[in-house]
Amino acid sequence: MASSSRDSFGARAELEVGGRRLGYYRLGALQERFDVARLPYSLKVLLENLLRHEDDVTVRAADIERLASWDPAAEPSTEIAFAPARILMQDFTGVPAVVDLAAMRDAMVALGGDPARVNPQIPAELVIDHSIIADVYGVPDAFERNAELEFARNEERYRFLRWGQTAFDTLQVVPPNTGICHQVNLEYLARVVFDAEGEAFPDTLLGTDSHTTMVNGLGVLGWGVGGIEAEAAMLGQPVSMLIPRVVGFELTGALPEGSTATDLVLTVTEMLRRHGVVGTFVEFYGEGLAAVPLANRATIGNMSPEYGSTCAIFPVDEETLAYLRLTGRSEEHVALVEAYARAQGLWHDPAHEPAYSETLRLDLSSVVPSIAGPARPQDRVRLDAARDGFRGALPKVLGGERAADAPGGRPVPVTLGDGTRFELDHGHVVIAAITSCTNTSNPSVMVAAGLLAKKAVERGLTVKPWVKTTLAPGSKVVMAYYERAGLTPYLEKLGFDLVGFGCTTCIGNSGPLLPEISEAVADGDLAVVSVLSGNRNFEGRINPDVRMNYLASPPLVVAYALAGSMDADLVGEPLGIGSDGEPVYLRDVWPTPHEVAAVVDGSIESGMFRSSYGDVFAGDERWRSLEVPGGSSYAWDDRSTYVRNPPYFDGMPAEPAPLTDVRGARVLARLGDSVTTDHISPAGSIKADGPAGRWLVDGGVDPGEFNSYGSRRGNHEVMIRGTFANIRIRNRLAPGTEGGVTRHLPDGEVMPIYDAARRYQADGVPLVILAGKEYGTGSSRDWAAKGTALLGVRAVLAESFERIHRSNLVGMGVLPLQFADGDSVDSLGLTGEETYTVTGLEGLADGSPLPRRLAVQADDKRFEVVLRIDTPKEADYYRHGGILPYVLRQLRDRG
């Protein structure tokens, strides 16, 4: 990893730390010419990256000069190449990434190249955290039973990942039930400053999960990308990006008593989403920074995708060093981080305000208890207005004739297997989940949840019988300090037994509800609720039976489990009646900041982290006993329903074919605003009567063994059939329907989207998608783009795109076309029944720039769209048919 920079600016220097001398590229060398001291922290990290990688090919002296002289007011237009120090993957995105690398080795052989060239060029770390499902809950052995089920369902995938760890250099795999990738990253994997081959440089990364930005709280620059872009970076391709606008977010004051980190992040999310920061860097600064613990910073950074920024970073300061010590990093490394940050001007100075494109300000003392829902993280609701917010949202959720229904109007009687009887109604909380790295990485809110549980139990409160209660921390350290603090028994008394270490409810792995409850929801067409301490609450994401989802702090998750309904006023009404017959209010059981701090200080120490991560890659007996296939090429099994050789390179020519226009296309789906990657990408459970379920049944898989879409992401046959199949997606081309259906044109027959796409492909008809604003928002699901491409979609026409999904579409050879300002599907009078032709690409000479605008003919309507292929490197990817064919041909021709 040692640098071979041309060093045109004489920036190479030495840093002495602890008796060692390390090479580094000194930003101060540019100060006299460019005043780099005024640059935001994040751009200083990018500038160092350019200095270190200057090769006069991908990085030129002119690129360094342009970044060093950055104009905060300028719109992004200057392309630079960013070379991350490492890659972070979780298993849902990591499995298809390793599948693609294995397929590339086979394709390299077919092209006459050396398959060994398909090998990660930088460290890649994969954490298996997305496969655990909360099937079993509320019992002491829930964790062990869920872990057994996880291995039984995923053994083939896990063998494949263990093969990848041995077949590919620098790929390390953190075994299942260790923790959530972002929390493991924060607590263990993150370096902050790399010390490699005698050189010091900032820790930077790309992650195959949009919440990679959690590590921004530690001062590490990184963000989420699609799996295909991460694969290219692993294989030595720098990331092409435009120098971004940087939004400064000044913090003052301190959080008031009663407000938590979750309340803070929901406030920040609302502010930034309203301001509009899609595609920007957000950077926090100000005198209030010292009052924001590192865990709170990480919580804010984690939610960056929810407000749309590329990253949300905090500079290095004393709090950074304290956290590194707490989490067991060596004193030698902490000294390196401090020395390097101070030498490079990366150390936070509250008196210095960098130059920013725009600034926002928040007085932390103004933050009030809040939740967000029922369907988007940015929809913050004050806790004291939560019931009114729920009642206002309910008619929209019910729709149609049921819109006038109110809680209490049509309750459904339920009798559980143990004889418990109750009535289930709109707004009843059927899932209360303490889950997700967003909050389980934060000891203050986790301890607050435990203390609230303790006080509630002592007052004689119990959880309502219809609530599924789960605890899924992002790190084993959480259970260690719960045990030391004596809080575990109280959480278990309320049903919050450990169900696993991993992403569960937040990603749709909530597991099934009790059959009696699920049947009551269906019989009464009830809009029931989940409350989770996660970062995502998009509709259709959490559980197929649950139509309204709310984000809340861990203590509020416990409180809502006690109250049992979102149609409750937690501020003004009692949570329940105590064992003494007196009402118990939230204020009676809410822990004070002093109580929380006392438990945190007395229960958490660095030895817990050293013990938890001491042998992090070894795994348990189940992991160690897996039989691992050998060989540098993977032995594909055509009978496998989990891992199959994908078709991306089938028939790939040695050189890219000329560009062509899109002619005679039909619309596969006409969609509205805020269509998320959860709507597009296969996620959650697999329906037996859908195309994917039918394919599995035909292959001999029993519906009870379907597992989830996420677990089968290494099988393109399943994933294609689940693309655009979300139960809540609404295709306006098939009005009155919900789910993955469309009308095949011109005959108008209604059928599953997959079946229609196959019929169009058989007839040689290309496809397009019509959409509104914020198309592709949400998680960086690479299958949202892969599935789109494999269905035969050539172009997506939308009013705006979220950053990662737009990039992924280009990476799969799909045109992202943006309506001109003021234009939309509705304003242009498009119905989706037209035949579409997109022109302006055919006949372009190799190497010539792509046009900024293309012409679209839709029957008798003609209009122009903006071609959102934003950089020359993206143009190269598109010309080659996608990023993977481009990289494969580059590797073939190397050396």
Position 866: which residue type?
Answer: V
Q: Both 589 and 673 in a single domain? A: no
pLDDT of residue 89: 94
Report residue 404's pLDDT band, with 50, 70 and 90 as the boundaries.
Answer: low
Tokens 């919580």 correspond to 299
Work out the number of other CB atoms within 10 angstroms of the CB of residue 176. 26
- Total count of domains within the chain: 2
Query: What average pLDDT does range 110-125 have in this prediction?
Result: 91
Burial of 24 (0-12, 13-18, 19+ CB in 10 A): buried
Per-residue pLDDT tens for 352-383? 999 999 999 999 999 999 999 999 998 999 99
Q: Both 575 and 673 in a single domain? A: no
Per-residue pLDDT tens for 238-251? 888 899 999 999 99
Q: Both 419 and 568 in a single domain? A: yes
Report residue 405's pLDDT band, with 50, 70 and 90 as the boundaries.
Answer: low
> In angstroms, rounded to a whole number, what is the distance separating the alpha carbons of residues 464 and 565?
9
pTM (2 d.p.): 0.86
Per-residue pLDDT tens for 268-324? 999 999 999 988 999 999 999 999 999 999 999 999 999 989 999 999 999 999 999
Q: Both 388 and 493 in a single domain? A: yes
Per-residue pLDDT tens for 770-793? 999 999 987 657 899 999 999 999
Report residue 2's pLDDT band, with 50, 70 and 90 as the boundaries.
Answer: low
pLDDT of residue 631: 84
User: Would you say residue 63 lies in a domain?
Assistant: no
Q: Both 528 and 672 in a single domain? A: no
Rounded (5°) CA angle 185-191-193: 150
Mean pLDDT estimate for the chain? 93
Q: Both 744 and 816 in a single domain? A: yes
Q: What does the block give as tokens for 762?
A: 């058989």
Q: Both 552 and 676 in a single domain? A: no
Question: Does pLDDT of 443 surpass 90?
Answer: yes
User: Would you say residue 24 lies in a domain?
Assistant: no
Query: What average pLDDT does range 394-414 have in this prediction?
Result: 78
Per-residue pLDDT tens for 519-569? 999 999 999 999 999 888 887 789 989 999 999 999 999 999 999 999 999
User: Would you say residue 56 lies in a domain?
Assistant: no
pLDDT of residue 779: 67
Among the listed residues 515, 535, 540, 358, the one whose alpha carbon sits nearest the alpha carbon of residue 439: 535
pLDDT of residue 802: 86
DSSP for 37-94 reads GGS-HHHHHHHHHHHHT--SSSS-HHHHHHHHT--TTSPS--EEEE--SEEEEEHHHH
> In angstroms, rounded to a whole number, what is the distance separating the alpha carbons of residues 555 and 534?
13
Question: Does pLDDT of 400 surpass 90?
Answer: no
Query: What average pLDDT does range 603-629 have in this prediction?
Result: 91
User: Would you say residue 395 lies in a domain?
Assistant: yes
User: Would you say residue 282 lies in a domain?
Assistant: no
User: Would you say residue 517 lies in a domain?
Assistant: yes
Among the listed residues 666, 723, 664, 659, the one whose alpha carbon sits nearest the alpha carbon of residue 691: 723
Range of the domain at 396: 370-604
Per DSSP bridges, beta strands 124-127 and 171-174 are parallel
Q: Both 400 and 524 in a single domain? A: yes
Q: Considering just the CA atoms, what is the radius of gyration of the chain in Å?
A: 27
Query: What average pLDDT does range 674-684 have in this prediction?
Result: 87
Query: What average pLDDT does range 469-498 have in this prediction?
Result: 97
DSSP assigned state of 851? P
CB 249 within 8 A of CB 265: no
Per-residue pLDDT tens for 123-164? 999 999 988 999 999 999 999 999 999 998 888 899 999 999
Tokens 């006459």 correspond to 112
Q: Both 566 and 675 in a single domain? A: no
Question: Does pLDDT of 684 surpass 80?
Answer: no
CB 263 within 8 A of CB 367: yes
Q: Both 669 and 556 in a single domain? A: no
Position 295: which residue type?
Answer: A
205 or 169, greater pLDDT: 205
pLDDT of residue 780: 59
CB 777 within 8 A of CB 674: yes
Per DSSP bridges, beta strands 836-839 and 749-752 are unpaired
User: Would you say residue 789 lies in a domain?
Assistant: yes
Q: What does the block give as tokens for 671?
A: 């969609």
Question: Does pLDDT of 409 surpass 70?
Answer: no
pLDDT of residue 92: 82
Tokens 């040692």 correspond to 2
Q: Both 382 and 486 in a single domain? A: yes
> In angstroms, rounded to a whole number, what is the distance separating the alpha carbons of residues 471 and 459?
22
Report residue 75's pLDDT band, with 50, 70 and 90 as the boundaries.
Answer: very high
Work out the number of other CB atoms within 10 angstroms of the CB of residue 761. 14
CATH number, domain of 392, equals 3.30.499.10
Domain C-terminal end among 581, 604, 627: 604
What percentage of residues in the chain have a pLDDT greater than 90? 79
Q: What does the block give as tokens for 702?
A: 């029993």
User: Would you say residue 760 lies in a domain?
Assistant: yes
Q: Both 727 and 595 in a single domain? A: no
Cis peptide before 374 (omega within 30 of 0): yes
> In angstroms, rounded to a whole number, what is the distance separating the alpha carbons of residues 743 and 748?
5
Question: Does pLDDT of 403 surpass 80?
Answer: no
